Structure 1
Amino acid sequence: MHTENLLIELGTEELPPKSLKQLGQSFADNFRQALEDAQLSFDAVSWFAAPRRLAITVSALAQSQEDSVVEKRGPAVSAAFDADGEPTKAALGWARGNGIEVSDAERMVTDKGEWLLYRANVPGQPVITLLESLLNQAISRLPIAKPMRWGSYDTQFIRPVHTLTALYGAEVVPLTALGLNSGRTVLGHRFHGEGKFELVHADNYAQALKAQYVIADFDERAQAIKNELEDKASQLGLVPDYNTALLEEIAALVEWPVVLQASFDESFLAVPKEALIYTMKDDQKYVPLLNQDGSLASTFLFVSNIESHDPSLIISGNEKVIRPRLADAEFFFNTDKKKSLESRVESLSSVLFQKQLGTLKEKSARIASLAGFIAGQINADETQASRAGLLSKADLMTEMVMEFPEVQGVMGKYYALNDNEPEAIAHALYEQYLPRFAGDTLPSHPVSAAVSLADKLDTLVGIFGINQLPKGDKDPFALRRAAIGVLRIISEQQLPLDLNVLVDKAIEVYGGKLTNSQTKDQVIDFVLGRFVSLLQDQGISTDVIQAVSARRPTRPADYTARIAAVAEFKQLDEAEALAAANKRVANILAKQGIDGELAIDGTLCSEPAEQTLYNALMQVKGTVETAAAQHNYNEVLRSLASLRAPVDDFFDNVMVMAEDDKIRQNRLALLLLLRSLFLKTADISLLAKS
């Protein structure tokens, strides 16, 4: 079948930069799905996205659908004809609906009887006639939260659309979408080139736009910007400070990127670099440059959308734009330093944390109390932890943080140092927010860890305590992130902390504010529940996680130690047999209703296999209990692995449910001991077969 490449482009006003990449990808995904649903053959769908356009190309798109055979089964023959062999109303109605006579119907014989059958060849529809519906379907599914109307059009889109280009090879596809009729007109760069031009062939799209100063391919444009940023920074002996999000936002703002170098007055470098970097990145989309030691340079890079004959004018204009922003930061910093953080704590009483849980001043007091308690648990300085907790939210009342919210914590550190607070306290004010996202660094000092844990636990316990549990994807207080932060800090830093103790203390600190009687259990279950996704991301198999979770260990460091031991145990040759034996033992004990303790009498072990298992259990029991008390779960499971042979022999040769009640109870006691020794680490009966 003949194929051609298809191009469809929507020429728009400037699209929202933070949404541009997602819009481009969604456009391609939606159209690909529409083509597949329409059973049209094609090789691939590619997408283009620039500030003033969204486009897709479909390579090797078939000119029509394949012909198909449609089969429609009618009534059973027994119901299609009456006793005289005449068609019944059911048969006549079915035939009429298919445009045939009953006599034209075929017969289909199945195991359940004979049926009337209509079989027809349906020719495939030309792609030209299908595209309008497919395009509108793809557009309607774009992730547009707030569509808008423009001019006299009734249609809605994320921004006004001015051109609709649709070419199948060199042929214009006649279709209508968003109130526009398709053609071959494409908008070029707003300031360079011809402004608009006629596209001859779908295959020429990207190249023709480059001739008009537009790089339509989003990834190509981002890569070009990245390469030029790196090259210019390297020439200066500096390091560009940007991440993927900033790079992609810049790429979404320009169609013809030109990287230029500018600078600001070095006197601004007296302001903490984080505040300067924030305003350059977030407000202006500039790329700060760092010296090799990590300090901020007074030179920065920015990306222009114009290839100017006199770049100095653009550079000068951008330097004029950044100066007042930096001057604001300098003014706020110098003004804020005139008051200590401690003097700002009282003003936190005017800011509500949560209506039922009180103000930020009350939260700070709770963090101080809880941080001091946690510090005592981990041998950190309790006085410093309490002090840091008290000051933890004070920087929220500074001019700098009110203007630039992203630097909360960061400015707390600088202002604390300015107040001559100990370094441990200053760093805790910044590190209380760590980790901020997946993979982020953890607090670097025990005092910081205590404050960070206190802050997160106070939020978790408080919000659960008033029954404001997160539902679905709604988590306004970021409780999931807080829970993961708690787990990571405790487990990765091997802190000797128990969630039972921590949550009890957090509840106590709240006094009578909490109304949910299930707060403790719900918080602990919620936090432990975050372990599943956290460990799965690390490649831990689900059955290993389930085996440990069944024991509900509430010490995160202990939890991860058990995970490591069970994962290692699962690789042993003995693991599968012992897991199966544990499952069998669990079922036997459950049927007998046994979940307590039973005494074992060695003299009642009459069978050789029974005596062997008894001796083996007695031999490893002390080792296992000592190792478990020391949280050495690898040693626990290695010792228990030696029981494989006696356990197998026992089940092969001994009848557990003996007629003699004393012997039966003694054998159940043996199995209960076996089970309880394994349960000191995990429920290995839940391990899947290899």
Structure 2
Amino acid sequence: MAKTLYIEIGTEEIPAGYIVPALESMSLRMVRFLDDNRIAHGEPTVTGTPRRLVLHVPGVADCQQAVRTEVIGPPKSAAYDAQGKPTKAAEGFAKGQGASVGDLTIKQTPKGEYLCVFREEAGLAAKEILEKMLPDFIAKIPFPKSMHWSSYTVTFARPIQWIVALFAQEVLQCEYAHVRSGKKSMGHRFMSPVWIEVNDLEGHRENLRKNRVILDIAERRELIRQGAATAAAGVGGKVLADDELLDEITQLVEFPQPLVGRFEDKYLELPPELLITVIKKHQRYFALTDGAGVLLPYFVTISNTVPRDFALVEAGNARVVRARLEDARFYYREDQKVTLDNRVEQLKGVVFHSKIGTSYEKMERFSELAVMLAEKVAPDLAPEVRRAALLCKADLVSGVVSEFPELQGIMGRTYARLQGEPEAVAEAIYEHYLPNRSGGPVPSRIEGSLISIADKIDTIAACFGVGMLPTGTADPFALRRQTLGIIRIVLETPLRISLAEIIDRALALLSGKLTQPAENVKRDISAFFEGRLQHYLATLDEGASPDVIEAALSVGIDDLLEAVQRTKALSLFTARPDFGDLAAAVKRVANIIKAPETAPVDALLFKNPAEGTLFDELAKAEAEVGSRLARSDFAGALESMARLKPMIDSFFDTVLVMDKDDSVRRNRLALLTRTRDLFARVADFRKIQTP
């Protein structure tokens, strides 16, 4: 008989960012546990609030599925003597399996005849199994940080107040953190702090609603969205769309109540990004705009209670935000008294890292790198690149960025505009931080793109150069994200630059700080880039298979744009119905060459017409492929190569490569070496898996 499993863990307020990952883990781990223990079940659902994590699994079988296991024992020859009587080996096997000798059968296996016995394992009650696992299940719910409380040795995100664990209407008996499981949950902490008996999810959801708790995350989120929009409309505004803030606030309240607040018009002189940051990041309020998108002196906050006096609470919220805005206004005005050029000098006192040097030294290094790149891809923009690179870190020592670090680059752009810098310089100061998150936009202008690449490659080279490599659990300098950022900028701009060249130059500029040989560092950085590029290619919508990616990238990644184009062309080419036969032919060529034969092919040594035919067609293909690769026409190059297949097949069908005559044998190997090398200009076909 199928039953419903319901688990609710009630706590003090859990941090907003902890809730959804914890719920996802609970669902995955419970499904894995039930599957591993042969307990049939339906599709689980999870939901929660700041004070409760809920898991609901319908259709859970009340006992395990019985299992019949086949156990193979000793060979028949060892199990029975010449008279056909069981030996001690047979008797010992039967006893070990809890069976009698009469239960044993003979099974024919690839290795011969062996004893066999079938074991019937009855299913245990699901309730008994679940009760044993629940304490460990609760203990292993993952959180970024957990805490101890009271004198208990166990940990959780926040102190546990109640545990509801039901299997149908029956309580699953367990205990964690000195809290015993039961059937009672709690209403809203302030508006309805009463115990509520739980019988089923639907009934419990409605009972919680009556006690001022909206259990469903999606419902709570929509109530906040609609409530904020209605409140904003009341003052003639619109909520500035912000899904990230909406998601966070959803996990901060159990019973959302929108409230409107107002601040003085004078604060609208602040840059919009600064004003929004104060309202959003530090107060968790929604900013409001008019129909044209201009900020209004209003905000919407979401309370977790329905206040007795709305005006009093709204005034208190305004008083709090006013203090933060006044701080921002003070710093903003003070910052304008010092030019960015003067702030650059202050970077000499800011240590980027004790092993790498100051922020000023870092700026000097990546400035040179950025100008080098500009002179290669956009010489006319070199002056703007040089100026923007000089100023792009200056706002790190400004008052606003010291108070609001998330505004680095944004405030630099603002101050650059205020002091009359060209727009290209101001925009590059901001854009050199891009992309600043996974999937975020890359710089829109060449100036910002080049400085971003230079800054990131300097960080990567410096960290690798002093042994600060990312691990599976730690990447404090976000080297993976910065490497992927460079890849995306190069591909999406697009840019044709030499990765090896910029790594070499970056390491040369760091020569006095490296703790290991530059060639070793370069090798490690190149391998790191290749790994990130493989990951990037595999995640594309039209992503190639891992073996094709590896085959294409084995040619090299110095030109990232070319490497990606080559991979995509190869991936499409492998979809051809005749690709398997071509790959087999190319692999046969590669496999027969134990060591490359570098001597030139001598046509006078040919003894078989197939040698001459392959030689002539290979020469034509080499010319065609060279021409097509020069234009980055990888699809065309592969087509030219594919036309060699009949000649390769004929060669192997009629020619003995390992001829007794040394000169003939080496000449044939030289011909095959040239053939292999032609295909290797696009990919290492040996790495491609074919049926």
TM-score by length of 1: 0.88
In 1, Cα distance between equivalents of 2:212 and 2:314: 20
Q: Which residue does 1:410 correspond to in 2? A: 410
In 1, Cα distance between equivalents of 2:63 and 2:602: 83
Q: Which residue does 1:537 correspond to in 2? A: 539
- Code of the residue aligned with 2:18 in structure 1: it is S
In 2, Cα distance between equivalents of 1:513 and 1:43: 59
How many Å apart are 1:449 and its aligned residue? 1.5
Question: Is the deviation greater in 86-95 or in 108-117?
Answer: 86-95
Q: Which residue does 1:649 correspond to in 2? A: 650
In 1, Cα distance between equivalents of 2:368 and 2:292: 38
In 2, Cα distance between equivalents of 1:89 and 1:616: 69
CA contact (8 A) 2:187 2:211 kept: yes
How many Å apart are 1:123 and its aligned residue? 6.5
How many Å apart are 1:395 and its aligned residue? 0.8
Q: Which residue does 1:108 correspond to in 2? A: 104
- Code of the residue aligned with 2:457 in structure 1: it is L
Q: Which residue does 2:270 correspond to in 1? A: 271
Q: Which residue does 1:521 correspond to in 2? A: 523
How many Å apart are 1:70 and its aligned residue? 8.7
1:433 aligns with 2:433: yes
- Residues 261, 641 of structure 1: CA spacing in aligned structure 2 closer, same or farther, 3 A cutoff? farther
Say which of 560, 563, 566 aligns to 1:562.
Answer: 566
Q: Which residue does 2:690 correspond to in 1? A: 689
How many Å apart are 1:161 and its aligned residue? 2.2
What SS is found at the alignment partner of 1:18?
helix
CA contact (8 A) 1:14 1:51 kept: yes
In 2, Cα distance between equivalents of 1:687 and 1:49: 47
What SS is found at the alignment partner of 2:46?
strand
- Residues 496, 11 of structure 1: CA spacing in aligned structure 2 closer, same or farther, 3 A cutoff? closer
After superposition, residues 60-139 of structure 1 pair within 5 angstroms as: 60-65=59-64, 106-110=102-106, 122=122, 124-125=124-125, 127-139=126-138
CA contact (8 A) 1:271 1:333 kept: yes
- Residues 603, 71 of structure 1: CA spacing in aligned structure 2 closer, same or farther, 3 A cutoff? closer
Q: Which residue does 1:496 correspond to in 2? A: 496
| Structure 2 gap segments, 5+ residues each | none
- Residues 274, 199 of structure 1: CA spacing in aligned structure 2 closer, same or farther, 3 A cutoff? same
1:575 aligns with 2:579: yes
CA contact (8 A) 2:566 2:634 kept: yes
Q: Which residue does 2:455 correspond to in 1? A: 455
TM-score by length of 2: 0.88
Q: Which residue does 1:373 correspond to in 2? A: 372
- Residues 643, 573 of structure 1: CA spacing in aligned structure 2 closer, same or farther, 3 A cutoff? farther
- Residues 547, 232 of structure 1: CA spacing in aligned structure 2 closer, same or farther, 3 A cutoff? farther
- Code of the residue aligned with 2:539 in structure 1: it is D
- Residues 166, 547 of structure 1: CA spacing in aligned structure 2 closer, same or farther, 3 A cutoff? closer
How many Å apart are 1:120 and its aligned residue? 7.3
- Code of the residue aligned with 2:522 in structure 1: it is K
CA contact (8 A) 2:72 2:114 kept: no
CA contact (8 A) 1:68 1:124 kept: no
Q: Which residue does 1:585 correspond to in 2? A: 589
CA contact (8 A) 1:132 1:176 kept: no
How many Å apart are 1:430 and its aligned residue? 0.9
Question: Is the deviation greater in 621-630 or in 547-556?
Answer: 621-630
Q: Which residue does 1:669 correspond to in 2? A: 670
In 2, Cα distance between equivalents of 1:72 and 1:642: 56
In 1, Cα distance between equivalents of 2:462 and 2:392: 17
What SS is found at the alignment partner of 1:182?
strand
What SS is found at the alignment partner of 2:301?
strand
- Code of the residue aligned with 1:185 in structure 2: it is K
How many Å apart are 1:358 and its aligned residue? 1.1
Give the number of aligned pairs.
678
Question: Is the deviation greater in 524-533 or in 260-269?
Answer: 260-269
In 2, Cα distance between equivalents of 1:626 and 1:4: 70
- Residues 200, 25 of structure 1: CA spacing in aligned structure 2 closer, same or farther, 3 A cutoff? same
In 1, Cα distance between equivalents of 2:539 and 2:470: 22
In 2, Cα distance between equivalents of 1:268 and 1:402: 19
In 2, Cα distance between equivalents of 1:469 and 1:202: 48
- Residues 494, 180 of structure 1: CA spacing in aligned structure 2 closer, same or farther, 3 A cutoff? closer
Q: Which residue does 1:335 correspond to in 2? A: 334
Q: Which residue does 1:55 correspond to in 2? A: 54
- Residues 502, 179 of structure 1: CA spacing in aligned structure 2 closer, same or farther, 3 A cutoff? same
Q: Which residue does 2:385 correspond to in 1? A: 385
- Residues 80, 542 of structure 1: CA spacing in aligned structure 2 closer, same or farther, 3 A cutoff? closer
What is the aligned-residue identity percentage?
Answer: 35
Question: Is the deviation greater in 37-46 or in 401-410?
Answer: 37-46
| Structure 1 gap segments, 5+ residues each | none
In 1, Cα distance between equivalents of 2:338 and 2:268: 21
Over the aligned positions, Cα root-mean-square deviation in angstroms equals: 3.4
What SS is found at the alignment partner of 2:306?
coil
In 2, Cα distance between equivalents of 1:668 and 1:404: 67
CA contact (8 A) 1:289 1:299 kept: yes
How many Å apart are 1:214 and its aligned residue? 1.0
In 1, Cα distance between equivalents of 2:643 and 2:62: 69
How many Å apart are 1:434 and its aligned residue? 0.9
After superposition, residues 445-484 of structure 1 pair within 5 angstroms as: 445-484=445-484
What SS is found at the alignment partner of 1:327?
helix
In 1, Cα distance between equivalents of 2:86 and 2:611: 81
- Residues 602, 30 of structure 1: CA spacing in aligned structure 2 closer, same or farther, 3 A cutoff? closer
CA contact (8 A) 1:586 1:675 kept: yes
In 2, Cα distance between equivalents of 1:203 and 1:114: 56
Please list the CA deviations of residues 625-668 of structure 1 after superposition, one character each: whole Å capped at 9, or x if unmatched. Answer: 23323433333223223323333333333333344444444433
Please list the CA deviations of residues 5-59 of structure 1 after superposition, one character each: whole Å capped at 9, or x if unmatched. Answer: 2323222211122111222232333334444444433323322311111222232
Question: Is the deviation greater in 222-231 or in 65-74?
Answer: 65-74
What SS is found at the alignment partner of 1:19?
helix
How many Å apart are 1:229 and its aligned residue? 4.5
- Code of the residue aligned with 1:410 in structure 2: it is I
In 2, Cα distance between equivalents of 1:406 and 1:370: 26
Question: Is the deviation greater in 257-266 or in 327-336?
Answer: 257-266
What SS is found at the alignment partner of 1:326?
helix
Q: Which residue does 1:553 correspond to in 2? A: 557
- Code of the residue aligned with 1:240 in structure 2: it is L
In 1, Cα distance between equivalents of 2:44 and 2:142: 19
- Residues 615, 136 of structure 1: CA spacing in aligned structure 2 closer, same or farther, 3 A cutoff? same
Question: Is the deviation greater in 550-559 or in 176-185?
Answer: 176-185
In 2, Cα distance between equivalents of 1:76 and 1:595: 54
- Residues 545, 183 of structure 1: CA spacing in aligned structure 2 closer, same or farther, 3 A cutoff? closer
CA contact (8 A) 2:79 2:86 kept: no
After superposition, residues 301-380 of structure 1 pair within 5 angstroms as: 301-308=300-307, 310-380=309-379
In 1, Cα distance between equivalents of 2:324 and 2:311: 21
What SS is found at the alignment partner of 2:473?
coil
CA contact (8 A) 1:233 1:239 kept: yes
Question: Is the deviation greater in 183-192 or in 529-538?
Answer: 183-192
In 1, Cα distance between equivalents of 2:339 and 2:201: 65
CA contact (8 A) 1:11 1:161 kept: yes
In 1, Cα distance between equivalents of 2:41 and 2:576: 50
In 2, Cα distance between equivalents of 1:445 and 1:358: 29
What SS is found at the alignment partner of 2:515?
coil
Q: Which residue does 1:177 correspond to in 2? A: 176
CA contact (8 A) 1:185 1:199 kept: yes
Q: Which residue does 2:257 correspond to in 1? A: 258
In 2, Cα distance between equivalents of 1:634 and 1:88: 69
- Residues 488, 128 of structure 1: CA spacing in aligned structure 2 closer, same or farther, 3 A cutoff? closer
In 1, Cα distance between equivalents of 2:295 and 2:129: 57
Please list the CA deviations of residues 377-416 of structure 1 after superposition, one character each: whole Å capped at 9, or x if unmatched. Answer: 1124222222222222211101111111111111111111
In 1, Cα distance between equivalents of 2:67 and 2:632: 67
- Code of the residue aligned with 2:374 in structure 1: it is A
In 1, Cα distance between equivalents of 2:147 and 2:454: 45
